[in-house]
Amino acid sequence: MQKRSFTILLFISLFFLKSVSAQEGYQVKVKVAGVRDSMCYLANYFGDKQYLKDSCLADAQGSFVFKGKEKLGGGIYLVVIPGKRYFEVLIDKEQNFSLETDTVDFVKHMKIKGSQENTVFYDYLKFIGEKSKAIEPLRAEYESVKSDPAKSEDVKKRMAVIDSSVITYKDAFMKNNPDFLLTKVFKVTEEVKMPEIPKKADGSLDSLFMYNYYKAHFFDNIDLKDDRLLRTPVFHPKLEQYFKKLTLQMPDSINKEADQIIAQLNPGSEMFKYVVWWVTNTYETSNIMGMDAVFVHMVEKYYTKEKAFWVDDAQLYKIQDRARVLKPILVGTKVKNIVLNDSLGRPHSLYDVKSKYTILYFWDPDCGHCQKITPKLKESYDKIKSKGVQVFAVCTEVEIDKWKKFIREKDLNWINVADPELHNNFRHDFDITTTPQIFLLDENKNIIAKKIEVDTMNDILEKKFEEEKKK
């Protein structure tokens, strides 16, 4: 069963309160040759997705108007026409303008009235289109002569001239239009300029310098206080790159980086909401074991009544309760004791199990997956029990006869306990919503691994056994 994500529900239902003024509204007149009598749509980027903002019917001449009483949040929007074709427009300070183009080539035929930002935007797109056409034959030429050093070097020089002209164009644009949204977008896409690698005292190069410098300066060109960047396709990939490629995938490291970035944001801003939501949701739903510690950290620190004021009380309670459930069963945490009776009515305590490793196994004899996994676990257990391993198997259902029959038929020669009268709260304490579930505990009943497959458990234990041999 797929794990529930309360935070993703939060994003869908509540995430953004409208932060734009209702004074002037917006009106974007569009005419597209080649479109007639069809529904057209206005959508916007947000994070890594696109969201529908408006829709209207194009007339027989391909004319249609998007309009609303509230101004749109600044960003890059998409005008979508039939056939899932679209072109981009900038919407920021100028929210009353017109566009005219042709389905043959949106960029080439684009005419704009009333929007300086879109005029320069399409000037740039036309310039890039020209340079792309110019470089295509050079790439083909390079492929044909790349085995010849002299000829290939000549082609690379000609390609470099074109690349240089693009850089010069962008640099000039940013210098002349420092407040334009497009300038902010360009800066986000710029790579960190790296200095020379310094030498250490012994004359060798610092192998970690490049990584540390790149990471430290990663956000230098990204204005984290500019909410408009959320409504572009460039910010989210940077956020994801930083956390998933540049940050050590350990909860403590991720928590530290998240706190440092969030501290730079305006509290309650759209950027604040998005980054907090994205980190929280990403690591709640992560397939990497132990990352729920990030979720717990984020909820405890940021999903409070004061900091998450945009979240309604019911949703906030659900998120906080989810963190309360997960916190006691984080990797490295000592589990809560379980005291239940075996098939003969004798009580057994999890804490009384004296073994180097304890496999805490939650299962149901009626569960089809359990019926396959349990014999596999039994096979592994028979091989490793002599190495200080015990199984504490908790039946999650109440049909005692079925439970006893399964134990006999499969010769489950480990500790078998059940709670037929539902007196124990282990289902809540261990977040048991599906079966089977395997927790691997050390001798002090601290969680080594949780909710793992038998093969993963075997691999972990094998490494533990090897480490013990080396001691």
Domain boundary among 60, 90, 114: 114
CB neighbours of residue 258 within 10 Å: 23
443 and 345 belong to one structural domain: yes
Q: For residues 185 and 232, give the distance between their C-alpha atoms in angstroms, rounded to a whole number.
A: 8
Average pLDDT over every residue of 30-41 = 96
Please give the angle made by the CA atoms of 232, 294 and 187, to the nearest 5 degrees. 25
Do 344 and 459 share a structural domain? yes
**Would you state the pLDDT for residue 78?**
98
Comparing 19 with 268, the larger pLDDT belongs to 268
Residues 377 and 457 in one domain: yes
pLDDT digits (tens, 9 = 90+) for 255-270: 999 999 999 999 999 9
| Whether residues 318 and 231 fall in one domain | yes
Reading the block at residue 248, the tokens are 């050590």
Of 3 and 5, more confident:
5
Asked if 436 and 363 sit in the same domain, the reply is yes
216 in a structural domain: yes
Which of 272, 256, 295, 268 is CA-nearest to residue 7?
A: 295
Task: Count the residues in the chain.
Answer: 471
- Which two tokens mark 402? 């079925």
Residues 184 and 305 in one domain: no
Contact predicate 85/38, CB 8 Å: no
Buried-state track 101-116, b at ≥16 Cβ within 10 A, e below 16: bbbeebeeebebeebe
> Tens digit of pLDDT for each residue in 271-289?
999 999 999 999 998 989 9
Residue 372 CB burial class (10 angstroms; 0-12, 13-18, ≥19): exposed
300-325 mean pLDDT: 95
Residue 205 pLDDT class (50, 70, 90 cuts) = confident
Query: Do 305 and 415 touch, CB atoms closer than 8 A?
Result: no
Phi-psi region of 283 (alpha: psi -120 to 50; beta: other; left: phi over 0): alpha
Q: Is the pLDDT of residue 9 over 90?
A: no
Are residues 368 and 462 located together in one domain of the fold? yes
Percent of the chain with pLDDT over 70: 95
pLDDT single digits (tens) 446-467: 999 999 999 999 999 999 999 9
Which range is least confidently modeled, 6-15, 112-121, 241-250, 444-453? 6-15
Q: Is residue 307 part of a domain?
A: yes
* Arithmetic mean of pLDDT, 401-418: 95
Tally of structural domains, the chain = 4
Mean pLDDT in residue range 21-39: 87
∠ CA 373-450-294, rounded to 5° = 145
Confidence check: pLDDT of 365 > 60:
yes
> What is the pLDDT averaged over residues 44-54?
96
pLDDT at 13: 46
The answer, yes or no, to whether residue 241 has pLDDT greater than 60, is: yes
**Same domain for 307 and 230:** yes
Q: Residue 5: what pLDDT?
A: 52
State whether 101 and 151 are in the same domain.
no
Whether the predicted pLDDT of 12 surpasses 50? no
Residues 138 and 107 in one domain: no
Q: Is the confidence at residue 2, as pLDDT, over 80?
A: no
Domain containing 399 — which CATH number? Answer: 3.40.30.10
Which tokens in the block code for residue 431? 């977040």
With left for phi above 0 and alpha for psi between -120 and 50, is residue 431 left, alpha or beta?
left
Q: Which CATH number fits the domain that encloses residue 32?
A: 2.60.40.1120
94 plus 129 within the same structural domain: no
> In sequence order, which ranges of 337-437 are alpha helices (DSSP H)?
368-384, 400-410, 426-429
- Residue 425: which pLDDT band, with cuts at 50, 70 and 90? very high
Which of 79, 114, 149 lies at the terminal end of a domain, its last residue?
114
Average pLDDT over residues 110-126: 96
For residue 194, being part of any structural domain is answered with: no
Q: Is residue 230 part of a domain?
A: yes
**7 found inside a domain:** no
Q: What is the pLDDT of residue 421?
A: 87
Q: Quote the pLDDT of residue 38.
A: 95
Residue 228 lies in a domain: yes
Q: Give the pLDDT score at 471.
A: 75
The domain containing residue 351 runs over which residues? 339-470
Per-residue pLDDT tens digits for 225-240? 999 999 999 999 999 9
Kindly state the average pLDDT of the residues 13-38: 74
In-domain check, residue 10: no
Mean pLDDT within 131-143: 92
23 or 342: which leads in pLDDT: 342
Q: What is the mean pLDDT of residues 77-84?
A: 96
Q: 180 pLDDT exceeds 60? A: yes
Picking from 189, 221, 241, the residue at the C-terminal end of a domain is: 189
The pTM is what? 0.87
The answer to which of 225-229, 303-307, 385-389 has the lowest mean pLDDT is 303-307
Q: What share of the chain is helix, strand, coil (3-state, %, to 5)?
A: 45, 20, 35
pLDDT digit string (tens) for 244-257? Answer: 999 999 999 999 99
Are both 274 and 299 inside the same structural domain?
yes
Is 33 a member of any domain? Answer: yes
